[in-house]
Chains A and B, each alone.
Chain A
Amino acid sequence: MGYTLVYLSLIVLIPLATLALKTAEMTWGELWTIATSDRALASYKITFGASFIAATINVVFGTLLAWALVRYRFPGRGIVDALIDVPFALPTAVSGLALTAVLAPNGFIGQFLEPLGIKAVFSPLGITLALVFIGLPFVVRTVQPVLEELEPEVEEAAAVLGASRAQTLWRVIVPPLVPAMLTGFALAFARAIGEYGSVVFIAGNKQFETEITPLLIMSRLEAYDYPGATALALVMLLVSFTMLLAINGLGAWTRRRAGHIT
C-alpha cells in the first residue's frame, strides 16, 4: 500500500500537481483567455474530434478483427495476431513517417486517392487515419479475451431457441462485449488525444485547420510561453480525466448489468 502510494505520487501525481501549480501563477482571467483563444479552440476541435472518430472506427473494426481472430482458424492467423501489436511497439515518429509516405499524393495509397479529390495528408482525414492506426491494438486486445470466454454454445442455444442471425448478434453476442468495447474505446481515445509523434508529420500543422493541441503546446514551449503551454495542458488534463471517469463509470455499470459481480 505504502509503496503503491509513493510510486504513484512520484510518477503520476507530483508532475500533475506541478502542472496545476504552474497554472496557478496566472489569474483566472488570463487562464481563460489563453484556454479559449480561437487557435486553441480550433486545436481542441481537431484533437478531440479526430480522436473520437478514430476511437469509434476502432471499436467497430477492432471488434470485428478480434472476432475473426478468436472464431476462425485461417492461414497466417498467428502473423495477423502479432501484427496487431505493431502500433504499440513502433516509435510513433516512425508510424507517422510511414503513414505520410503511404498516403502522400505520390504514395502507395495516396496516388489512388488524389484523383478522387481525397486529400489524405495535411488534412483532418490524415490525422484521423494516424489515430486509427495507433489506437487499433487497444480495442482488439481488450475485446479479444472477452470473446474467447464467450462459448459458441451460447450462439447455438440462441439459434435453437429461434433467434435469427441478427437477433443472435444483437441480443446474445454484442451485450457481453459492450464493457470491453467501452474500455477499448476509452484507451484508444485517451491515447489518441495525447498522440503527437505519428500525427505531426501527416497533419501539416496548419493553424486553425490541422493543428492538434499537443503541437500547440509544443510551439508555446518553443516560444518560452510556459504559462500558455500549461494552461492548454490543464484543459487537456481535465477533459481526458473527465472522459476516462465517465467511460469507466459506464463500463462498470454495463459490467454489473452483464452479470459480472465485482
Chain B
Amino acid sequence: MTISVRNITKRFGTFTALNNVSLDVPSGELVALLGPSGSGKTSLLRILSGLEQPDQGTAFLDGTDLGSQSARQRNVGLVFQHYALFRHLDVFENVAFALRVRKRPESEVQTRVKELLQLVQLEGLGRRMPSQLSGGQRQRIALARALAARPRVLLLDEPFGALDAQVRAELRGWLRRLHDEIHLTTVFVTHDQDEAFEVADRVVVMDHGKIEQVGSPTEVFEHPANDFVMRFLGHVNVFEASFEAGRARVGEVFVDVDRPGDGHGRLYVRPHEVDIARSSSKDAIAARVLRVTPLGAGLKIELRAPALGSNLRADIDWDRGTALALRDGDDVFLSLRRARVFAQAA
C-alpha cells in the first residue's frame, strides 16, 4: 500500500499544526516522522488514521481518497504511545477485538490471535490481563492488536516513548526485524533521532508543521538540507561567522567552507569533525581542554578556544584519546575538518 499526502493543512484554533504538507510513502517502506514536539508529526499520523480531519488537502491510500472514509472504515493499524489497551479484556481478547467487532467465526479468531501472539513472542500470555504485563509486553500486545485485521498500513505514534531506555533499544531492533518479516507500509512518529535512524528506511524531518527534509538516515545526517535539520540531528557546534573571499572568518580564525557565503552567517561543525592535536600546524586553533567525558564508543571533549570566541565540543574515538592522553586543563590545537554553511532562511 502506498500512502500519498497532498497539500494537507490542519489548524487547531490559531495554531497551525500542518502547513501544506505533501509526502509519499512507497509500498512496504518504513518511514519515520522525526521532529520536536509541536512539529505536526502526530497530527499527520492522526489524519492518516482518520481520528482527525484535515482542513485542506487530501490523503490517499493506493490512490483512493481517504477523505470519505471514517476511522473505522479505513482498516489501518494504529499503536499509541500509552498503549490504550482495553483493561477489562485479557490479552487474547485485546488482540481479538478487531476480529470480534467484524463478527469473524470463532475458529478464525483462535487461529489468527495465536498466530499474532507468536509473532510478538508472547504466546502463552493470552489469559493475562494487561495490568499484569510489563510496558514492553503491553506495547507488543498493542501492536498485535493493531495487526489483527490485516491493516492496509501500520501507524505508530511514539510507540516506545513511555518505556525505559533499555527496553526501548530492544524493541527498536525487534520492530525493524518484524517489519522485514511482514513488509507492511509503516509510518512511525518519534522525536528521538537514534530511534528514527535505527528503525526507518527513510526519515522525514518535520518542524513547525512543515517537512524540512526527506531522505535515508545517512542522507539527512550527512547532507542536511538546512540549519534546522543540522541542529536537530545530533549535537553541533555553531559559530557566528563573516564571509570573506570564499572563506569564513570566525573571530580571528579563517575556516574553509563547503559553499561560499555572503556577508554574515552561521558556521556548523559536528563534534566528530573537530580534530585535536598536541602540536600546532598551519591554520590550527589553540584551545584548552575543559572536560573529558567517556561517551559510548569515544570521548567527549569540551574545549575553550579564545580565538573562536566560544566554547566547543569535539568527539574523538578511544584510540585517538589514548594516544593524546588528554587531561582537563591541557593546551591543544584544533583543526576543523569540515564546516557547513546554509543559505539564510528568507
Contacts and interface: CB of A to CB of B under 8 A. Distances in A.
A209 B148 CA distance: 59
Interface of A: 151, 153-154, 156-164, 167, 171-172, 175-176, 257-261
B82 A151 contact: yes
Nearest to A154: B84
Interface string B100-135: 111000000000000000000000000001111000
Contacts of A160: 49-51, 71-72, 74, 76-78, 146
A154 B78 CA distance: 12
Contact of A158 (B49, B97, B131, B132): B97
A151 B129 contact: no
Contacts of A260: 131
21 contacts: A151-B82, A156-B78, A157-B85, A157-B145, A159-B50, A160-B71, A160-B72, A161-B97, A161-B98, A161-B148, A162-B72, A162-B149, A163-B97, A163-B101, A164-B72, A171-B100, A171-B101, A176-B87, A259-B87, A259-B90, A261-B132
B58 interface: no
A153 B157 CA distance: 12
A19 to B, nearest CB: 40
A73 to B, nearest CB: 14
A153 B46 CA distance: 12
A259 B49 CA distance: 28
Given A153-B82, A156-B51, A259-B131, A162 B88 contact: no
Nearest to B46: A156
B80 A162 contact: no
B51 A175 contact: no
B100 to A, nearest CB: 8
Contacts of A158: 86, 97, 101
A156 B146 CA distance: 12
B43 interface: no
Nearest to A161: B98
Given A160-B76, A161-B97, A162-B75, A257 B88 contact: yes
A162 B86 CA distance: 14
A159 B75 CA distance: 10
Contacts, number: 81
A257 B130 CA distance: 12
A94 to B, nearest CB: 41
Contacts of A167: 101
B98 A162 contact: yes
A258 to B, nearest CB: 4
A176 B88 contact: yes
A172 B86 contact: yes
Interface in B140-167: 145-146, 148-149
Contacts of B86: 154, 157-158, 171-172
Which of A160, A175, A259 is most buried by chain B, counting CB atoms within 10 A of its CB?
A160
A162 B101 contact: yes
Contacts of B146: 160-161
A147 to B, nearest CB: 13
Contacts of A156: 51, 71, 78, 80, 84
A171 B89 CA distance: 9
A163 B72 contact: yes
Nearest to A155: B84
Nearest to B70: A159
